[in-house]
Structure 1
Amino acid sequence: MSEILSRKEIEQFVLSGFVRIDNAFSQETAEAAIDILWNDLPCDRSNPSTWTEPVIRLGMYTQAPFIDSINTPKLYAVFNQLIGKDKWIPCQSVGTFPVRFPSVQQPNDTGKHVDASFPGNDPGNFLEWRVNIKSKGRALLMLILYSDVSENDAPTVIYKGSHIDVAGLLSKEGDEGLSFMELANKLEGLPKREEVYATGKAGTIYLCHPFLVHSAQPHRGSTPKFMAQPPLLLKGELSISDADAGYTPVEQAIRLALE
Structure 2
Amino acid sequence: MSVLRKADLDAFVERGFCVLPGAFDAWRASAARARVWRRMEEKAGIREDDPATWPEVYDIEERLAVPEVLDCFTDRLVAAVEELIGEGRWRGIRGWGFWPVNFSYGARLPYAVPPSGWHIDGNWFRHTIDAQHQGLLLIGLFSDVAPRGGGTLVSEGSHRRTAQVLGEHPGGLTHLELFEEVLAEPIGNFHELTGEAGDVVLAHPFLFHSRGYKHGGPPRFISNTEAGLVAPLRLRGPDLSVLERSVRSALTGPPPHFDAPQRCSF
Q: Which residue of 1 aligns with 2:10?
A: 11
**AA of the residue aligned to 1:66:** V
Q: Which residue of 1 aligns with 2:239?
A: 246
Q: Would the aligned equivalents of 1:114 and 1:183 in 2 still touch at CA under 8 Å?
A: no
> What TM-score do you get using the length of structure 1 for normalisation?
0.87
**Counterpart-to-counterpart distance in 1, 2:189 and 2:146:** 18
**Counterpart-to-counterpart distance in 1, 2:224 and 2:116:** 15
**AA of the residue aligned to 2:30:** E
Any idea what the Cα deviations from partners look like across 1:28-74, whole Å, max 9, x if unmatched? 110111111111222221222221x211111221111222212x221
Q: CA RMSD in A?
A: 2.0
**Selected match of 2:134 from 135, 138, 151:** 138
Q: Paired residues, what number?
A: 242
Q: Which residue of 2 aligns with 1:257?
A: 250
**Selected match of 1:65 from 65, 68, 75:** 68
Give the Å deviation of 1:130.
Answer: 2.5
Tell me whether 96-105 or 33-42 shows the greater mean CA deviation.
96-105
Q: Which residue of 1 aligns with 2:84?
A: 82
**Selected match of 1:49 from 48, 52, 56:** 52
> What TM-score do you get using the length of structure 2 for normalisation?
0.85
Partner of 2:249: helix, strand, or coil?
helix
Partner of 1:178: helix, strand, or coil?
coil
Partner of 1:89: helix, strand, or coil?
coil
**AA of the residue aligned to 2:15:** S
Give the Å deviation of 1:139.
Answer: 1.0
Give the Å deviation of 1:183.
Answer: 1.4
Of all paired residues, the percent bearing the same amino acid is 29
Give the Å deviation of 1:149.
Answer: 0.7
**Counterpart-to-counterpart distance in 1, 2:26 and 2:218:** 17
**Which ranges in structure 2 are unaligned for 5 or more consecutive residues?**
253-266
Q: Would the aligned equivalents of 1:82 and 1:250 in 2 still touch at CA under 8 Å?
A: yes
Partner of 2:220: helix, strand, or coil?
coil
Tell me whether 53-62 or 29-38 shows the greater mean CA deviation.
53-62
**Counterpart-to-counterpart distance in 1, 2:188 and 2:24:** 30
**Counterpart-to-counterpart distance in 2, 1:192 and 1:213:** 9
Partner of 2:18: helix, strand, or coil?
strand
Counterparts of 1:117-196 in structure 2, within 5 Å, are: 119=124, 129-174=125-170, 176-190=171-185, 192-196=187-191
Partner of 1:148: helix, strand, or coil?
coil
Any idea what the Cα deviations from partners look like across 1:174-222, whole Å, max 9, x if unmatched? 1x42111111222323453311111101001000011111111232113
**AA of the residue aligned to 2:126:** R
Give the Å deviation of 1:105.
Answer: 6.4
Q: Which residue of 1 aligns with 2:122?
A: 116
